Structure formats: structure tokens, C-alpha cells
Structure 1
């Protein structure tokens, strides 16, 4: 194993340690991994830049499991059948010839796999897996959004990405969120919130695609109220009272049967 491989392996283990314990002092990490305090700080800086953890005074913290968004692979495995059903339903809202904006969520990645059925489309996205998927599809004109790359999300995030979004106008936006609490959407990453808000400002129609478990979770950063969305696509696991409340506030709700 060369020096760079050893560094990546150490950072992976250090990341897992912080997330598992919730909070770890920098000095303890340096001692545990046999590295200098300066090296520990550099490792934490790199992991924070990638979106895995947060540096705080004296150490680093990982968000609780109810808030930590997880890697793309982790998220793809959660509620997979329901997400597939939601993607199928959301695809029925597409109209050939539209300009579509797509966020970095795994549910919308599944939706991207259905875009070719509704071509021609122009697609604007910050999601690297979506770019890889759509680049092969005839009839799809693809616009990618640059910025800082976050491996934890496999997407481009932050101020520069948000600025790039504002250069465009889309007919429809499809996006998801980490959590919905008391009629408001939340996310775990401020950089993600920046981009999603810019996307919402740049779309004529906004569609939120979220499975019912999102309504039982908490999030750290407020994104937007549900009333800012024209349509909510959700599975039938969401309580009837919650569905009625969303509709009463003026948002159309498409209820999708669970597989």
C-alpha cells in the first residue's frame, strides 16, 4: 500500500470512527491512529470538505443516524421498492420537450432512468450518477452543474453550484428532501440547501418526491415549506391526516401504492 492509499484508508477509518461515536476529540484521534495533531486536523478538514462530518471546537462530530444523510449506496438501499414506485409515478408528470431540473437525491436518480421514455428532454442536474446515466441516452440534452464535488453525495454542491443553477430556467423541478417536519422540508447539509433553494427559484413547477418515512425524521437545516411545492409525490404509507393537511394548504398530492 503506497502513501496515498494508506492516507485514504486511514481517513475512511477515521470517518467511520467519528460517525459511530458521534463526537471524538482531535487529540484522541491523533493518539488512536498514531498520527500528529496537525495530520489529524488535515484529515478532518478533508472529510468535512467531502461532506462526511463537521469539525467543532476540540474535535469533530457526526450527525445522528436520523439526520445523517448517508452515502449514495446507503440511501439507494433504503425504501428501494417504494422509491422505484415513486419514480414511476413522477415520470408520468413529464412532457416531451420540457426542460427538467433534477436534484442529487437517489429517488430522482431512479427517475432519471425513465427520462428516455419521455424524450426529447433537456435535463439540468448536479448529480454525477444522473449525468452518467443520461449521457448515454439519445433524445436527452444534458446540462451539468459544476461546483465543489462532495463524494458523500456524489454530487456538486455549494455556492458555485447554486450560482450556476440561477443561469437557467426550467419547466419543472424534481427533488427530494431528508426530512419533513410540521409542514417544512429539512436537510442535513447547508451546501445542499443552497443548491436546492436555487433550483426551486429557477423552476416554473416544483415536484417533491418523498417516501413516507421522510415525514418521521428530523433535519438540521430548514429548506422550504411544503406549500412552496406544486406537487408532492408520496407513497400510501403516509397517514391520511397528513395527506389531507398537505392538500388543505394548496399542494397537489399524488399518492402512490406501495409495492
Structure 2
């Protein structure tokens, strides 16, 4: 897909803005609280630009802005935010995404959730076309729109800015009326070999996607086994395959395999 000059410049501007917001959120989280003037000086941008970025980060549940100070929020939404998640474990996520491509065949209807690990699969889908892609994630819709050989089914509902996705009753009803060949999804945390997430709304949508797919693949980098979240989602034994990265503790892999779980270890060279 060839972008027009105005579309190309907009894409570059949005990419720079997202990278800057990631850097600002990382700085605020690292220090706990920073004055807005300091952020402007540190990143070489105007105070007005910092205010705009902080407004966006505040809407996504990452920080709080008050009386000239940006403060990190210690809430579950911090790790749920796509701005925060998209900058973590990039190498591992890319390796996992390449391994997931082995499950995708031309002609399939595939369902993708709002996880940032799944986002790493998206740029490679054109090589598996023709495909029908079903998703509730606005980022994926924007990335795939106009891609030759890709038919898009966008799941509507209530839009949640912090994860760039649609969720709620309307979304679940739309999912329940569909049947996909394959679901590729991730999770926030794994505890007692159960996938967990911080928000019930996300759990409800992911469960609906799980029920609507013939084959279900879970993508989980090693850090997911070190985290905890509030809401139980699905037992790992229910997935057709779990793809982890090479940094995953061997004890986790051995335990899951002993339970009959099909675990694939994604290598950096993408070979299993």
C-alpha cells in the first residue's frame, strides 16, 4: 500500500508523537513525579507540547497532571495501557510473532485481540493473504486498512482510549455472531497456569473471542509469568498452543508440557 504525501507525513508525525509519549511516560514512571518544565527541557520541546502529551497519557490512565507536575499512577491501567506495553520486550515479542505466523494459512478468518504482542504479527499478514482479519483494535484496523488481500471486520462497541480498542456488550454480541478459524491473543499475567488480566471488560471480550475461534493461540513472553493481575481469564490448558520466548523459565515450560499443553519456544532466529 502506497501512502499519499499527506498521509505519509501524518504517519511520521504520529509515530514521533507516540515515541515521545513513551519516553515521557517512562521518565515520569521512573521518577514518580516530574515538573512539566523539566520535561520540556529534557526532551527539547515546548511546555505546550508537553501538556498535550500529558493530556493524552492521562486519558490513557498512565499519569496524573496537577499544578504543573506529572505524577505516575500506580494503578492496573498503567500496565494495561498500549503506550506502556508497546515499548516492552520488543525483541521477545517479535520472535513470538514470527512463530505465530506458522499457524496462519491463506484463506483463513483470523481474530486478533488488543495485545501489543499481537501487533507484531500484523505487519507480516500481507505475506499470508488472502485473509479475513477480525479485530476490536483500532490500531490494527489503521495498520491494515487498504492492504491488498486483507478483508477487515472491525468489531465496534464502546471505545477505550487506554488500550485503543472497543469493548463492552456490543463488542461481545458482534463476536458471538462470528466464527473464526484462528484466534491469536495474549494476556497480562499468568498465575497458577491461568491467564489473568487487570480489567474485567478485557477478560469478557477475550473470552468471547476464545469461544468464537476453532483454534486458539496464546502469545506470552517470559515476563507474563512474573506478573499478577486481578481477573482470571482462561486456563492455559484450554489453548491449542502457547508460544513463549527463549527467556521463559524452563520450569514453567516443563510443567505446562507435563500437563499436556503444547508449548512452543520462539527463538530469536524464529526457529523452534
Q: TM-score range by the shorter chain?
A: 0.7 to 0.9
2:191 alignment partner in structure 1: 181
1:204 alignment partner in structure 2: 214
Residue of 145, 148, 151 corresponding to 2:158: 148
Residue of 105, 109, 116 corresponding to 2:115: 105
Structure 1 alignment gaps of length 5 or more? 1-15, 22-46, 54-61
Once the two structures are superposed, the pairs formed by residues 1-259 of structure 1 within 5 Å of their partners are 52=61, 63-64=74-75, 68-258=78-268
Q: Deviations over 1:68-116 (max 9, x none)?
A: 4243222111001111111111112111111100000111111011111
Q: Deviations over 1:211-237 (max 9, x none)?
A: 010000000111111011110011011
Coordinate RMSD, CA, aligned: 2.4
SS in 1 for 2:133: strand
Q: In structure 1, what is the Cα distance between the partners aligned to 2:145 and 2:166?
A: 17
Q: Residues 159 and 194 of structure 1 are in contact (CA less than 8 Å); yes or no, is this contact kept in structure 2? A: no
Q: In structure 2, what is the Cα distance between the partners aligned to 1:131 and 1:251?
A: 32
Q: In structure 2, what is the Cα distance between the partners aligned to 1:99 and 1:110?
A: 18
Structure 2 alignment gaps of length 5 or more? 1-27, 34-56, 63-72
2:18 alignment partner in structure 1: none
TM-score by length of 2: 0.71
Aligned residues: 209
Q: Specify whether residues 140 and 247 from structure 1 end up closer, same or farther in structure 2 by C-alpha distance, changes over 3 A only.
A: same
Q: Residues 112 and 118 of structure 2 are in contact (CA less than 8 Å); yes or no, is this contact kept in structure 1? A: yes
Moved over 2 A (4+): 50-53, 62-65, 67-71
Q: Residues 166 and 202 of structure 1 are in contact (CA less than 8 Å); yes or no, is this contact kept in structure 2? A: yes
SS in 2 for 1:234: strand
TM-score by length of 1: 0.75
Shift of 1:63: 4.9
Q: Residues 78 and 84 of structure 2 are in contact (CA less than 8 Å); yes or no, is this contact kept in structure 1? A: no
